[in-house]
Amino acid sequence: MTTATTERIAQLPQVSEPRNPGMALDLDWVRGVQANTSAIERRAATLPGRRSVKKDYQAAWLLRAISCIDLTTLSGDDTVQRVRRLCAKARQPVSPEILAALGMEGLTVGAVCVYHDMVAAAVEALEGSGIPVAAVSTGFPAGLSPFHLRVAEIGESVKAGAQEIDIVISRRHVLGGDWQALYEEMRAFREACGPAHVKAILATGELGTLRNVARASLVCMMAGADFIKTSTGKESVNATLPVSLVMIRAIRDYHERTGIRIGYKPAGGISKAKDALVYLGLIKDELGDRWLRPDLFRFGASSLLGDIERQLEHHVTGAYSAGYRHAMG
């Protein structure tokens, strides 16, 4: 890979955006938001075939995708040892030999995402790496535990060292059109996060309509969310291109009105390198290059990294390696 190509795409300079302070709930704006489902679905259907990057450029885009991955383990059988192995993978997501052949060094993932009980182990394992720990919180994945416990859970994860908190909203507020309740809930979560960035998980597969997705996205941003995220990964329907298009355009509208950039995180079901390229292309088309950095875009994934590794190895060697050679831990 040429150095120029790598610098332009894979190693975009890292900058830091100001936190989203939120704003007063504007119900006129929220209720005025609509979603033309048929038009959105038509546009989304064209995305996989609209843009194709090959050879060095494809490899550079895939390296960029790795830097935007929230490497995740959210299983009931998680152990400290598993989390430590995952963190080792986060520090060195691609073999040094492949990175050297691609003219890259110092590549890491965007974050490691775990349950609260594993935050301390992840923080210790990532010490000195600059990789933040994200904790899922607020009664993840259903978000149905008592409210005071959800707020307390955020505080405990921040105290344990989590720099990012992925919260789940109460779906009933969206389904019942109670935007004031959603706003107040999100504000409370944002306040409890303190210095930690907050990602609002909408669980879009359970919100019923794309219009609900658009309105919920907007309310969460008004309430101070730093990121909006599609899914917990535990729903029957997770990240999709139509949902992503709706959420990304809500982010664009919010930025145009407030000047604040909000991050986006599709999660669940994105496991192939070719899918990652489609999402990156969508972000570039709809939001621009500034969103192609890990402070404003993340993939919620684990198996995605393995497929990207195989594609990069094929780019360097001309042969595909076995999947077991790219274990997550």
Annotated active-site residue 166? The verdict is yes
Q: Which band of pLDDT confidence, cut at 50, 70 and 90, is reported for residue 286?
A: very high
Q: Which band of pLDDT confidence, cut at 50, 70 and 90, is reported for residue 319?
A: confident
Residue 304 clears pLDDT 70, i.e. is over it: yes
What is residue 289's predicted lDDT score, i.e. its pLDDT?
96
- Close Cβ partners of 81 (under 8 Å, ≥ 6 residues apart): none
**What is the residue-averaged pLDDT of the chain?**
93
Rg (CA), the chain: 19
Residue 58 clears pLDDT 90, i.e. is over it: yes
Annotated active-site residue 272? The verdict is no
| CATH number for the domain whose boundaries are 3-10+32-317 | 3.20.20.70
**Which residue among 166, 226, 275, 295 is the active-site one?**
166
Kindly report the pTM of this predicted structure: 0.93
Q: What counts of helices (H) and strands (E) characterise the chain?
A: 14, 8
Per-residue pLDDT of 96-148, as tens digits, reads: 999 999 999 999 999 999 999 999 999 999 999 999 999 999 999 999 999 99
Residue range 20-48: mean pLDDT, rounded: 96
**Which residue among 265, 275, 295, 307 is the active-site one?**
265
**Which residue among 229, 275, 295, 307 is the active-site one?**
229
Q: Where are the domains of the chain?
A: 3-10+32-317
Token pair 């120029």 is found at 4
Residue 2 clears pLDDT 90, i.e. is over it: no
Q: The tokens of 120 are what?
A: 């301390």
Q: Of 85, 141, 176, which Cα lies nearest the Cα of 268?
A: 141
Token pair 């194709």 is found at 52
Annotated active-site residue 229? The verdict is yes
